[in-house]
Structure formats: C-alpha cells, structure tokens
Chain A
C-alpha cells in the first residue's frame, strides 16, 4: 500500500469518526444515570444502565409522544403516496391544457416555508374541530409532501416507456389490472424513495406539529423540548428518547437504501 492511499484511508476514517461521534455520545448518555453524567468524563460508560429506556417505555407521556408522532407520520405518508400515485401517472402520461403550469405550481408549494401556513391552518382546524388530532398534522404536512411525492414519482414514471401501457392494453388487461399488477411493481423503487422522503419530512418537522397540537396529540419532538422537570434536566432519559427518535429514520433508510441510490442517480431527489 503506498503512502497516498494510506493517507486517504486515514482521512476517510477521521470523517467517519466525525459523523458517528454525536450519535455515539447520544448512546453513551442514554446508557448512564443522571448522577453519572453530571460526574466524571467517561468515554465508555463504566456502569451502563437501561433504566432510561425503561422510563421511556413505561411513562405514558413519553411513549404516547412516540405513538402520536408515528400515527401522524404514517397517516401523512399514506395520504401522500396514494394521492400522488395517480397524479404522477397523469402528469407522466397525458398532455392536457395547463399541465406544465399545474406541475410547476405544485412545486412552488414546496418552496414556501411551513411557518407561512401556521396561522391559516391553526384558525381553520380550530373552527372545524380538527385541532389537536394526528389527522390535523398529517393534512398540514401533506401540503408539502404531496407535491414532493408527485415530483419524485413523475420523474420515475416518465422513465417507464409508454409502450408498456400500450402492450398491456393490447394483451387485453384492464387499466386497473395494469396499474396495480404491472405499473406499480415496476415503480416500487420510486414508491420506496417517496415513502422515505414523506416519512422523514413529517418525522422531523417541528413547527406545524407543535402549533397544531395541544395536549392530546403531542408529538415526541415537542415532548423532548419540555423535559425540564421539577428535579432538573433529565439528561439520560432525553438521550434515550433521542435514540428512539433516530431509529425509525435508520430503519426506513435501511429498507429503501438501494432505491435511494437509484433515485439520487436519476437526479429527481
């Protein structure tokens, strides 16, 4: 091995350490008690404990936060994908009056910061009784994730030759059979990528989720910002909650990783 490649390996290793360090530190904090954290500096926890994780899983304030978050995230992902699939198909297959303008207008929604829509959503949801429900947050997030989904899916679907559609019609298949049994399976990678982006947007979004919920549907990110209790800052539990918050993202990335690479390569994401 020559000097150059050895150097590049060291640089790569250093970068990986840099990336992994905050996550590692979060994990060590989650495995230590509060007294331990406030005490001496430790690179590796000397007497690790799972008490913080147990606290999260047993205390309803914590685990309900997770349940609330997951419910609006899943709801949002489902609505986005099911609304975007037919829309993206139409945009990729048909030319109609104003199709490009409509497509661009969809994208411009994505350009506005979520804060712009805070007040209208709050007022609207309060008046129709949607306030403080997972559906409220899911619908608000859809304003951003549906255009994003349409955009991603349209890019992938346009890559599928229209002769496939023609072929299916000539073979005698109904449109429904073609769409569900042939077209969607061809685009399953695209759907995976779309699910990932909807999920991640909704999972990390704080502003809308905090404003549109009160006590009933309080998401985990909001719970985490209110951990200063009477006994002071609960470092260990907070870190454990952080670990649980990172996990879904890692899981989703793990399942769609191959499709993600392809999606990035296609330049649509």
Chain B
C-alpha cells in the first residue's frame, strides 16, 4: 500500500499539475509491478531494432549497444550535444559522425541506404518540399513506393484528416504556420508506413501550447502505427507523457535505459537524475561527505515550503534557504535560492524548489525548508 501511494505521489509531482499529463502518467502504475526499477528481461528479447557498438561522435572511445523495443515508443533523452541527432541519422542511414551497426530483426541495415530501410524521419526543423503542395508532400513516399493514384489519394486524405490539415491540402508549405508545417512533416512520415519511425525533437520549435496539444495527439497516433518509434527530446515531460521506454544519453554515450517511472524512481547516478528532472535535482550541502563516489540529492518538487505539512513521516530534515528569485507560472511556483546546512557558508548549494500552487515568497527572505528523509536520493557521482 505504501508503494502504491508513493508511486501516485511521485508521479503526480513529477509530471506537474497539468491534468492531462497526470492521466497519462498514472497509467504507468499498471506497468510498475511488472518492472519496478529496471527493464524487464523479456523486453530485451523483444527488441526489434538493435544498435551495436555505437559511437555517437568520432572521438568517442567506447561504443554502446541498445535494443529498441518492438512496437513501443522509446524516448531518447539527452542534453544538448549529447548525440541525439547523430543517433537518429545513424538509424536512418544518413551521413553522420556516428558509427555502429544497425540491425532490424534479423536484417543487417548497416550497409543499406536510407531508400532501402523501412524508416521514416521527422526532423527538428520543419522540412517539407517547398515547391510541392501539402497533398503532394504527404504523397511523396507513396510516389516512391509506386502506389497508384487513387490509393495515394485515399491515404493522403485519411492522414490529412487525422492530423487536421484537410483544409490545407492545396497550399504550399510556406503558407502554413509552424504547427501546421510540423503536422505536415509528421503526416508524410506516417504515410511511409515504415517499420521504424524516428522523430528528432519534433516539437521543440513549436510554442508551448501547440506542444501540449501535439504531444497528446502523437501518443495515440504513434501507438496506432504499430511501428517501433524513437523520439528524442531534452524534456523529461516528453518521456513521461509519451515513452514506453526511455534511453538516457549523457556525455556522448548511453547512460541508462528502462521505463520512465523506473528511471525516475531509481536513477543510476547523478547525471541520470538530472536528465529525468526538470529543473535538475538539488544537491544536498556537504552531500559527498561519505566518500567521494556518492552524493545525496533531492528533487525540486520534493522540497516542502514552510507551512506545508509533512504527513505520516518520522524523519524530516530541514534546510535554510536564502531566496534569490521567484517564478510563478500560474499553477506552479519555482523558488531559486542558496541553501546551506547549519549556516555554513562555504558549502552553499543553488537549489530550485518547485511547488504546485501560488506561494507568497519574496526575494531575500530566509525560508526553512523541510525534506522527507525517504525522498532523498543517494546517487553515484557518475
């Protein structure tokens, strides 16, 4: 019972107060008993798309292997310059710095050109053929597959319907808004009906509201295709909202993989915890006192502001924070400040506290923060 409550608690806190994403996140509760912390053994056996000895950059010394689960959506999470785009280009067979073997089921894709691979890609920039109409753009892979015209028209019409661009079929891409252009790119990728679908930060150039709307649509759309989907992002929210599986990339290599919740609950090291948290985790002052290999951290959403009650918890630790700045997003409050244990100034840490609701906190104020002992993560430094 404690476990389930803990899970719900964690999940809601980590995905934020947005109602829709909470529902998605709660669904993972059902997966949890199956694979509490690490990926199941049978997931690895089911992986359809395997990469072997992948080096994302030329200067990388050690390669890594990974299996992308068949018919599932894997969110590849990594910071800037972590090699996400290189991985996508490697999977698609495009020229890239990354090297390594790509296997789809029993087939070696490594020597194959992009034309010969059953792979579709949505790029971060809105890439459409500027001289072709929306309808021609969507039909492009179908033309390459030599489908006859009525069949092409049928598929184009149904995809345009699904993505809400039916009214725009005769327009040129330059006459579309950013969101519509990316819908078009997604429609064209889906038209290919490929076994592997790669989306390289598809929503990063869109504004916040469009992102929210498209993420939810994508979830159902991509699940319907039955394809093995690779979706790269820098935002852990995408991992929770979309991902069946998550692969973390850090310092040009694979760091950890598993279900979103598994990774959230037990990150392998500090870097993994940072990637799965937005904003990153807060380091406890004098965190690495017990040996240099370990540190302790607390997630921004687990720090309690003064006045918030701690229920059924025996061990709470308090910290003092001097507030540097406060951001309010309407439904959440972010408090930035410096924290030290027992007022020792030489070991100050910069913290971010993220709480639902609006809190009256002013800059320069000293706050007494409470942290539940259970919420503290003990992590390997790297």
A residues sitting closer than 8 Å to B (CB atoms) are 161, 163-164, 166-174, 177, 182, 185-186
Contact = CB atoms under 8 A, between A and B. Distances in A.
A166 B141 CA distance: 13
A173 B129 contact: no
B113 interface: yes
Interface in B78-100: 89, 92-94
Contact of B140 (A161, A166, A173, A186): A173
Contacts of B94: 166, 169-170
A170 B119 contact: yes
B40 interface: no
B114 interface: yes
15 contacts: A163-B123, A164-B127, A166-B92, A166-B127, A168-B140, A169-B93, A169-B94, A169-B115, A170-B119, A170-B120, A172-B144, A172-B145, A173-B140, A173-B143, A173-B144
A164 B114 CA distance: 13
| CB-CB nearest 9 A-B residue pairs | A172-B144, A169-B114, A163-B127, A171-B141, A185-B131, A171-B140, A170-B114, A172-B115, A173-B144
B121 A167 contact: yes
Given A163-B125, A170-B120, A171-B192, A186 B130 contact: yes
Given A169-B113, A172-B115, A161 B129 contact: no
Nearest to B125: A163
Nearest to B192: A171
B322 interface: no
Contacts of A173: 115, 140, 143-144
Nearest to A173: B144
Given A161-B125, A166-B121, A174 B115 contact: yes
Interface in B125-143: 125, 127-132, 140-141, 143
Interface in B56-108: 89, 92-94
A261 B61 CA distance: 51
Contacts of A166: 89, 92, 94, 114, 121, 123, 127
B188 interface: yes
Contacts of A171: 140-141, 144, 188, 192
Interface in B114-169: 114-115, 119-121, 123, 125, 127-132, 140-141, 143-145
Contact of B123 (A167, A169, A172): A167
Interface residues of B, number: 25
B129 A164 contact: yes
A166 B94 CA distance: 7
A163 B123 CA distance: 8
A186 to B, nearest CB: 5
A122 B89 CA distance: 53
B47 to A, nearest CB: 22
A115 B132 CA distance: 46
A170 B129 contact: no
A169 B92 CA distance: 9
A186 B114 contact: no
A189 to B, nearest CB: 11
A167 B127 contact: yes
A172 B119 CA distance: 9
Contacts of B145: 172
Nearest to A171: B141
Interface in B232-263: none
A169 B96 CA distance: 14
Contacts of B128: 167
A173 B188 CA distance: 13
Q: By CB atoms of chain B within 10 A, which of A161, A169, A174, A185 has the most?
A: A169
B115 A161 contact: no
Q: By CB atoms of chain B within 10 A, which of A164, A170, A173 has the most?
A: A170
Given A161-B125, A166-B114, A171-B141, 4 more contacts: A166-B123, A173-B143, A173-B144, A186-B130
A170 B127 CA distance: 12
A150 B362 CA distance: 63
B129 A182 contact: yes
A164 B130 CA distance: 9
Contacts of B144: 171-173, 177
Interface in B20-42: none
A8 to B, nearest CB: 35
